[in-house]
Structures are given as structure tokens and as C-alpha cells.
Amino acid sequence: MNLGRFALYNPSRRDLLKAAILPAGSFSLRGAGRPPKRILIAGAGLAGLSAAYELVQAGHQVIVLDARGHPGGRVLTLRDSFADGQYAEAGAETFGQTHNFVQHYVQEFHLETMPAWNFGTLTSLVFRDGRRSGSGSDLSRKYVQPAVREIGDPLAPGWPSSDLLRQFDRISMSELLESRGASPEEIALLQITYSDSWDNGTAPDSALCLLRDEAIARKGASFRIRGGNDQLPKALASSLGARVHYRTTLLRIQQNSKQVTVTVNTSGRRSQISADYLICAIPFPVLRSIEVSPGFSEGKQRAIRELSYNSVTRVYVQSPTRPWIAEGLSGFAATDLPIGTVWDCAEGQPGVRGILECYTSGERARRLASLSEPQRVGTVVENLQKVFPGVSSEKAVSIAWDADPLVKGAFAWFKRDQMSTLLPHIARREGRVFFAGEHTSPWFGWMQGALESGNRAAHEVNDAK
Ligand SMILES: Cc1cc2nc3c(=O)[nH]c(=O)nc-3n(C[C@H](O)[C@H](O)[C@H](O)COP(=O)(O)OP(=O)(O)OC[C@H]3O[C@@H](n4cnc5c(N)ncnc54)[C@H](O)[C@@H]3O)c2cc1C
């Protein structure tokens, strides 16, 4: 996730409505499903749920399976951990003005949004070598922003072109920056400025992967769903009613020319379900251990095996007041400390308290994840007080996404050359099995990607012969 750093845009309702214009042919499956098909969907995250929603509208028979006891997967609002009714997002947190699939469903279910990163005149910090330091904004303008413009609009159909892949996917971010004259010292400062998304280091990841994230995050304003993002998957799931089966884990996929059969475990009991088609909307690290017969194509197997996922660990510290505001600070800080990037994730919520969220990814996330919960919180609070001295911890909670057995990582994060070699295989159908999920979309790592992929898969199944 990219934080849309320093975005001070104040959106109006008109902007929202403008943004919700969808690409031609994206939706409108309504009534298209004649004769109705029997469709299984594994995964009740936004990808699986949106696919189910569209296919039900079309008149198909749909069953959704999820191993968890609730819908939403990586859209997870932490509601019981804090005082004053404040809440925090463990997974997806903000979305952009140009994220038309998110905006579409937000409007479909009459959810309210509020602006994110709405700092007004408050200052955001860069904290480096034990003190507040100058930001990397000038360097970003010199080296990163021109490259972001060069990669065009990642939300445009057909993106990325083979030219873009050749130019930007085969190299890492440090190679790109070096080739444009950045010194090692400048690259180090940029890495802190972009600490939320460049934390794997600038060497292993595809430059296109990082530039794409920047481009998606920075276009226009950002929003949150007022009251918590989990309202969106809950609304989708409740419209599907008893079609969604919880605590049901996919174990095996078997297909022949006539049907697909899945073996599932429902609260300790094994059973089989057959249908015309399956949409597999579960993360690839989990799919690695699911038995598939006959096996998928070579290209698909390689994509499932090799697709890289980023590590993210987040620690949330609720403070009795927001002392940073009195200092004229927004609460946002990009740091070189073990706490990564910090911001007030209860921004815009009522109450005098604030929740400082410490977002780490890559190596810092893995180091925090290796600690026990009390050690993790202790390390974070100690370091947080170096940046915001008046902050005290009333309640604290953490989440390490690598440790979630139903994802085993945070989101797809392509290493050098993987967008060129793996993307073409990730979303491609395998007989009666179709694929959805953020990792199958050019907008991976975003709710927009999950919803886009759900819609694409719904259309593919609807049209399948
Ligand atoms: C730390 C973090 C920060 C993020 N920040 C943002 C952000 O600010 N903005 C944004 O737009 N997006 C953000 N995202 C990304 C966003 O959350 C995801 O892109 C999106 O929610 C993925 O949806 P999905 O349906 O593809 O996958 P998931 O939500 O993971 O859904 C997959 C479902 O499959 C189920 N499942 C897994 N294995 C099995 C099995 N064997 N059998 C049955 N069910 C199974 C899981 O329980 C899960 O419910 C963030 C994600 C993370 C983790």
C-alpha cells in the first residue's frame, strides 16, 4: 500500500461521482446468464464477493466458500481494540479518487466516505539519524515523479504495454535511480521518504511495481469509508445471503471436460461440491498447498510458486490525546526507525484520543513479526516516543500479515522481471477454473484490483462455453 503521501486535496461530492464512471462493459451482467450456470467461488474477499454479486445479478447459481468466519479477507476493521469507539484498519485503509470500481460499490451500497490524509496546514515529518530532517520531496520531484509520469496511467485498459515492461520491469528502483544520476546518499533518503512501499530495499523489486504503486496512490484525493472499510465486504456478503459458506476451507480442485469438483473441510467435516465452473479468488501463497488434478499449465504453476508477496506488520498505539496537533504536526512521519511510517489512523474520527499506526513492510516488518506481541509493542512505543515525545500508550495492538495462514503475506509485490514473466499467466483460465484476486489485476495491492478482478472473472465465466 502506498499512503498518498502529503496529499492535501480536499474532495467534493462531484469529484466522487465523476470518479465512479466505469470502463465500458465493466458491469451490466444483469439478466445475462441464460441458461444459468452453477458457479463455485473460493474466497469471500472483495474479489470473490464482487464476482458473486455480479453473477447473481446475471441470474447464475453461485456458492461462495471461505475458510474464515466472516467476509472481507484483507479488508478487516479492528473495532474492539480501542477506547472511545475508535477503530483502525488492519488491511485496506484508503482508496483513491480514480479507483472507479471501489467508488462504484461504495455508491451501490450507499456507504459514506470521508477524506483521507486531510492534513490542512499540519506538517508531516521525515525522521532520520535520530532527528527530524528535511523531506525527500525535492529528490522525489527530480527522480521519481518524472518516471511516474513516464509509466502513464496504470488504470488505463491494456496497461502495462510491452514497451513499459521492457523499460521499467527488468530493472530495480536503485538501478533506475542510478541511471538517472541519483547518488547512494540520495537513494537512501528517497528510501526513507517512500518507506511504506520501498522497504524491501530498492534492489529486489521491479521499478515498475513501485512506480505503479506511486501512480495509483497519488492521482487526486484519497478517501476512507466512514465507520470502517469492512462495511463494504459486509454489504456485498449480506446481499448474497446464504450463498456464502463460512469456515469452509478449500483443500482440492479436480476438473474434467464436464465439471469441476472441490473437496472442502467444513468445521472438521470433509465433503465434495461440483459445479460448472470455479472462480479461485484466494491468494497464491495459499493456493500453493492446494491439490490440483489434473495439474495446471507450466506457466500457471510457476506463477503460483514464484509470485512474491510483500511482508507488512502494523502496530497501533492509542494515545489519550493527540499531542502532535498542538505542535502543528499531522502525526505522519516517514522514519528510519524500526517503526517504519507513522500516521494517525483515527483521523476524522470523533473523540479526543488518537491512534498512531506504525506501518512497516519488507525487512522491518519481518523483524517486528519475529517478536512476541509485548516485545513488538514495547519496541514500537519506545521508538514512537523519539518522534512524538508526548505520546503515551493507553492501548496497543498489532498484526503481522505474514503470520496469517490464509494469505501468508500482505499483497502481491512483483520482483524484478516478474510483471513481464508472471502477469500473463496469473489471470489466465485453466479449463473450468478462473482466477480472481488483487494479485491477478494490474492494480495489485489495492481494493480496486480485487474488485476489478472479480468483475473480469464474472464476465469470463458468464461468457464461457
Ligand atoms: C497491510 C495491508 C494494507 C493494505 N492497504 C490498502 C489500502 O490502503 N488501500 C487499498 O485499496 N488496498 C489496500 N490493501 C489491499 C487490499 O486489502 C487487497 O487488495 C484486497 O482486500 C484483496 O482482496 P482479495 O479478495 O483479492 O483477497 P482477500 O481479501 O485475501 O480474500 C481472499 C479470501 O480467501 C479466503 N481463503 C484463503 N484460503 C482459503 C482456502 N483454502 N479456502 C477457503 N477460503 C480461503 C480468505 O479467508 C479470504 O477471505 C492492503 C492490504 C494489506 C494486507
The C-alpha cell at 77 is: 476493521
Q: Report whether pLDDT(207) > 90.
A: yes
Mean pLDDT computed over every residue of the chain: 91
Using most ligand atoms within 8 A of CB, pick from 223, 406, 434, 435 the residue to mutate for ligand 1.
406
Give the model's pLDDT for residue 28: 54
Give the model's pLDDT for residue 58: 94
DSSP reduced 3-state for 389: coil
Q: Report whether pLDDT(1) > 60.
A: no
Residues 6+ positions from 116 with CB-CB distance below 8 Å: 4, 7, 93, 94, 221, 222, 223, 224, 347, 348
Rounded to the nearest angstrom, the distance between the alpha carbon of 437 and the centre of ligand 1 is 8
Closest CA to 4 of 104, 139, 117: 117
Give the model's pLDDT for residue 263: 98
Mean pLDDT, residues 267-277 taken together: 95
* Ligand 1 atom at shortest distance from the alpha carbon of 454: 25
Closest CA to 343 of 135, 196, 448, 132: 196
Tell me the percentage of the chain whose pLDDT exceeds 90. Answer: 80
Mean pLDDT, residues 178-186 taken together: 93
pLDDT bucket at 33, cuts 50 / 70 / 90 = low
Give the model's pLDDT for residue 8: 26
pTM reported for the whole predicted model: 0.93
Please state which of the four CATH numbers 3.40.50.720, 3.50.50.60, 2.40.50.100, 3.40.640.10 is assigned to the domain occupying 26-71+231-307+415-463: 3.50.50.60
The C-alpha angle with vertex 205 and arms to 304 and 377, in degrees rounded to 5, equals 90
pLDDT bucket at 212, cuts 50 / 70 / 90 = very high
Rounded to the nearest angstrom, the distance between the alpha carbon of 386 and the centre of ligand 1 is 33
Give the residue extent of every domain in the chain: 26-71+231-307+415-463
Tell me the pLDDT tens digit for each residue of 404-442.
Answer: 999 999 999 999 999 999 988 999 999 999 999 999 998
Identify whether the C-beta of residue 28 lies closer than 8 Å to the C-beta of residue 263.
Answer: no
CA distance 438 to 293: 24
Which residues are near ligand 1 (CB < 6 Å)?
A: 1, 42-48, 65-68, 73-75, 91-95, 249-250, 281-283, 286, 312, 401, 406-407, 410-411, 437-438, 445-450
Mean pLDDT, residues 322-345 taken together: 94
Mean pLDDT, residues 386-409 taken together: 96
Query: What are the strands of the beta sheet with 291-293, ordered from one edge?
Result: 269-275, 260-266, 248-255, 291-293
Mean pLDDT, residues 241-248 taken together: 98
Q: Report whether pLDDT(21) > 50.
A: no
CA distance 357 to 119: 16
Tell me the pLDDT tens digit for each residue of 92-151.
Answer: 999 998 899 999 999 999 999 999 998 889 999 999 999 998 777 899 999 999 999 999
CA distance 230 to 453: 19
Rounded to 5 degrees, φ, ψ at 63 are -125, 130
The C-alpha cell at 241 is: 445471503
Residues 6+ positions from 257 with CB-CB distance below 8 Å: none
Tell me the percentage of the chain whose pLDDT exceeds 70. Answer: 92
Strands 291-293 and 354-361: unpaired
234 to 23, 72, 222, 289, 341: CA distances (angstroms): 25, 7, 22, 28, 29
Give the model's pLDDT for residue 143: 95
Give the model's pLDDT for residue 134: 76
Rounded to the nearest angstrom, the distance between the alpha carbon of 367 and the centre of ligand 1 is 22
